Amino acid sequence: MVIVLKPYASKQQIDSLISEIEKYEVTVQKVIGSNLTILGLIGDTASIDIDKIAINEIVHKAMRIQEPFKRANIMFHPEKSVIKVGDTEIGGGKIVTIAGPCSVESEEQIVDIARQVKLAGATFLRGGAFKPRSSPYSFQGLGFEGLNLLKTARQETGLMIVSEILSHDMVDRFVEDVDIIQVGARNMQNFVLLKELGKIDKPILLKRGLSATIEEWLMSAEYIMAGGNPNVILCERGIRTFEKYTRNTLDLSAVPSIKRLSHLPIIVDPSHATGLWWMVESMARGSIAVGADGLMVEVHDNPEKALSDGQQSITPKAFSDLMNTLRIIAGAIGRYI
């Protein structure tokens, strides 16, 4: 962190500011120029509240040089994190695919889709049991019964399961039931939930918030990691922009941005990013080409009848065709599916 002081700052005021800063156990280097004095802070400045420094009457400007996230930062962890889930790895050479319906609707539905996506080569089965819907009158999911049905599908197919958690009081049950706990876009900044997820070691799929910057997203990952859980997988799912043609705007540049800033794996969800079934395939292809470690795709055997997100769901046949194309793209960039 660098602090630029106002020209009229007295020696006494400067010394008093320095002793305040030194309480954070950082070293302060003073650079005295002909007009300005600059303080350079050396050490772990993560716990320093920059706004508190900035309001000091002798401070002209306070700036962070390093990103505020530490554990998620590639600077302090140059080797890529590879997250182990059962006997699968996320963030290694293999590109993982998480496929399945938006919502678990019935045993027959989830088991049938699970069988088909498994045949197509999916790594994980997804299915929402608790649905964060924009309207309280929309289908809210089957709740814990939905988790039971996902477990049945896992038993039938061997596919590991991914499902979204909505609140901190569900953590025990999710740890018990699912293989990856999904934190949805709307909960990316539910800090009570993130702190609880920091206390476990189950892999967490952390979706990007609807209007979250890359830094805010990584700070949410930092919450989970700061609690002691290093197993975080990021998921770009589109952000809200002025464009209304698509449900959200898929920010594919988030993939190389995250790769430059963090060691955590990142996957892309082209279904929620576009909201349009016919756009899912091209955006999925693009995601793999730009270096994503995996995909989350909504697949439904009868999209027209789906209880949620049918308009953005592709059929099992379309998913199978997509996987064949993705295998070629993965091979071209030295990876495999």
Positions that interact with ligand PEP (CB under 6 A)? 102, 128, 132, 164, 184-186, 207, 237, 272
Residue 44: enclosing H or E segment and its boundaries? none
The residue number with the shortest CB distance to ligand PEP is: 184
Contacts of 55 (CB under 8 A, 6+ apart): none
Q: Which residues of 1-37 are buried (b: 16+ CB within 10 A; e: fewer)?
A: bebebeeebeeebbeebeeebeebebebeeeeeeeeb
127 closest CA partner among 178, 162, 165, 78: 162
Residue 298: enclosing H or E segment and its boundaries? strand 294-298
| Cβ 3 to ligand PEP shortest distance, Å | 39
Instruction: Output helix, strand, coil percentages for the chain, rounded to the nearest 5.
Output: 40, 20, 40
Q: Which CB sits closer to Mn ion, 259 or 272?
A: 272
Which of ligand PEP, Mn ion, none is residue 259 near (CB under 5 to 8 Å by kind)?
Answer: none
Which of Mn ion, ligand PEP, none is residue 184 near (CB under 5 to 8 Å by kind)?
Answer: ligand PEP
| Cβ 29 to ligand PEP shortest distance, Å | 44
Which of ligand PEP, Mn ion, none is residue 209 near (CB under 5 to 8 Å by kind)?
Answer: none
Give the position of tokens 């997100």: 309
The span from the CA of 254 to the CA of 245, in Å, is 20
Q: Which CB sits closer to ligand PEP, 3 or 214?
A: 214
Length of the chain: 337
Q: Which CB sits closer to ligand PEP, 182 or 231?
A: 182
37: which strand partners?
Answer: 32
The span from the CA of 9 to the CA of 80, in Å, is 45
Give the position of tokens 């953590």: 171
Which of Mn ion, ligand PEP, none is residue 71 near (CB under 5 to 8 Å by kind)?
Answer: none
Specify whether the CB–CB gap between 259 and 290 falls below 8 A: no
Residue 327 structure tokens: 């295998």
Which of Mn ion, ligand PEP, none is residue 118 near (CB under 5 to 8 Å by kind)?
Answer: none
Query: What phi and psi values does residue 227 have, to the nearest 5 degrees?
Result: -80, -15
> What is the Cα 251 distance to its own chain's centre?
13
Residue 182: enclosing H or E segment and its boundaries? strand 180-183
Specify whether the CB–CB gap between 273 and 260 falls below 8 A: no
Q: Which CB sits closer to Mn ion, 36 or 210?
A: 210
Which of ligand PEP, Mn ion, none is residue 247 near (CB under 5 to 8 Å by kind)?
Answer: none
Q: Which CB sits closer to ligand PEP, 48 or 217?
A: 217
| Cβ 126 to ligand PEP shortest distance, Å | 7
Q: Which CB sits closer to ligand PEP, 93 or 132?
A: 132
| Cβ 258 to ligand PEP shortest distance, Å | 16
Please identify which residue in 37, 309, 322, 326 interacts with Mn ion, judged by CB under 5 A.
309
Give the footprint of Mn ion on residues 95-154 (CB under 5 A): 102
| Cβ 312 to Mn ion shortest distance, Å | 7
Which of Mn ion, ligand PEP, none is residue 185 near (CB under 5 to 8 Å by kind)?
Answer: ligand PEP
| Cβ 235 to ligand PEP shortest distance, Å | 7
Q: Which CB sits closer to ligand PEP, 21 or 147?
A: 147
Q: Which CB sits closer to Mn ion, 196 or 309?
A: 309
Q: How many residues bind Mn ion (CB under 5 A)?
A: 2
Q: Which residues bind Mn ion (CB under 5 A)?
A: 102, 309
